[in-house]
Amino acid sequence: GVYDFNEDGIPEISFGPYIFSSLDGTLLAEAPGATGTNPNYSPIGLVVAANLLSENDCGSPICQGLELAAGPDVYAVTLVSYTNPALNSITLVRQLPGFGDGYTSIADFDADGKLDIIVGGTNLNSNTSGVYVWDPLTEQLSKPFWTLGNATFTIGRPSVADFDNDGELEIAVHTEDFGGGDLQVIDQDMSTLWSFNTNDVSGATGCTDGHFNGDGAAEVVYRDQTQLRIIEGSTGTTITNFPCTSGTINEYPVIADLNGDGQTEITCNCGGTPGNVNIARTTVWGSDDLPWMPARPVWNQHAYFNVNVLDDLSIPQEQQQPHLPGDQALNGFLTQYSNPEYPVPDATAEILGISCTEGGLLFSMQFCNVGDQVLSFNTPFTIWEGDPTN
């Protein structure tokens, strides 16, 4: 991920426990504990940075800027030098006892006005794998632990959205299973809303969420080893699917307005030939029927949650909170923002004058667009003699 940890206008690059300079790649700091890794894919750390704690929570200047969330740990990041990394530090300031490392996401899951940390990890007390949601302010679980199975099972990075349009967030996650995998959606009370089998044996793949049909509920987009699917978020019913092969590991489909047409598109890599997952082609899908809902034109990193990047791909110096009071449109993770209203042009026409010319009439007219979408210069118009509806 790319973040401006110290809010100085120069972004840094985060990978697992490491923070690098975006100017020259210098290692600026390294976290000492949990690294957002999965036991079966330990070199790959999926962490996230956000404004999780205030200076009142852990003191100044230690909790200025953004904190790094990695599984059961939260680190305060202090960066004061790009040339002398010894002056920088990462300090463990919050920890959830009794729980292990795992792929990490964030959202205000329980709608209490505070960001929660959502992890596909392990319960060390019961030696089981699953999903846990915890509050870095209280260092307690925000919700009961969702149990998958034994502690060796792999769980992908959680995505968070309102999948059933009930006004509450749910968690979508891909998990390892015997002989394959399962895509699962976990309800607000941490019960399983729905689940279906996939053929991704790694269990480490991710899924993403978008709004395609404008019904208010998010759809899940997932690609396993053979297919890309768009899935109804409330029921788990496959809306449509496309052949798309992959060896899979931690990747997921990306959702964005890729060509600037005002509609959502989906893109991911697919095997170039059937049975050959080593030769991939980047493939893009769009609607072939009714237009899909609008979307942002960006998706810049694995830990995407809308407020981490601006529309011009620049990194905000001060990251906006995704859980705004009274407006939960940005409160999610691995979910693409969509305007629930279609932006359309709204043309007005006024005849400024009419004059007679040899062989006809000359109309002087003024057209204005008071809508939210561009009105094409080539928009046709018709002049009627009298009221065309009478």
79 and 30 co-located in one domain: yes
Range scoring the smallest mean pLDDT among 104-118, 146-160, 224-238:
146-160
pLDDT recorded at residue 74: 97
pLDDT for residue 276 is more than 80: no
186 and 268 co-located in one domain: yes
Residue 366 lies inside a defined structural domain of this protein: yes
pLDDT recorded at residue 145: 98
Domain of residue 374 covers 345-390
- Report pTM: 0.86
373 and 309 co-located in one domain: no
pLDDT recorded at residue 310: 97
Residue 386 lies inside a defined structural domain of this protein: yes
168 and 306 co-located in one domain: yes
DSSP assignments along 161-189, one per residue: E-SSSSSS-EEEEEEEETTEEEEEEE-TT
Burial track 48-63 (b if 16+ CB lie within 10 A, e otherwise): bbbbbbeeebbeeebb
Look up tokens 């949650």; give the residue. Answer: 305
Instruction: Tell me the three state secondary structure of residue 267.
Output: strand
Give 28-80 pLDDT, tens digit per residue.
Answer: 999 988 889 987 777 789 999 999 998 888 877 788 899 999 999 999 999 99
Nearest in space to 110 (alpha carbons), one of 81, 85, 144, 67: 144
137 and 39 co-located in one domain: yes
- What is the Cα gyration radius of the chain? 25
Number of domains in the chain: 3
pLDDT for residue 351 is more than 90: no
CA distances from residue 194 to 86, 94, 140, 221, 286 in whole angstroms, order as listed: 49, 33, 27, 15, 26
pLDDT for residue 342 is more than 70: no
Tokens representing 148 are: 């998958």
Confidence of residue 341 (pLDDT cuts 50, 70, 90): low
Residue 319 lies inside a defined structural domain of this protein: no
CA distances from residue 212 to 112, 215, 220, 235, 320 in whole angstroms, order as listed: 28, 8, 10, 16, 25
339 and 350 co-located in one domain: no
147: Cβ–Cβ under 8 A, 6 or more apart, which residues? Answer: 123, 126, 128, 129, 130
Give 232-252 pLDDT, tens digit per residue.
Answer: 999 999 999 999 988 888 999
DSSP state of 219: E
pLDDT for residue 169 is more than 70: yes
328 and 350 co-located in one domain: no
pLDDT recorded at residue 178: 81
9 and 91 co-located in one domain: yes
pLDDT for residue 334 is more than 90: yes
Range scoring the smallest mean pLDDT among 96-105, 134-143, 170-179, 321-330:
321-330
pLDDT recorded at residue 330: 94
Q: Which of 144, 165, 195 is the last residue of a domain?
A: 144
Range scoring the smallest mean pLDDT among 73-82, 161-170, 240-249, 354-363:
354-363
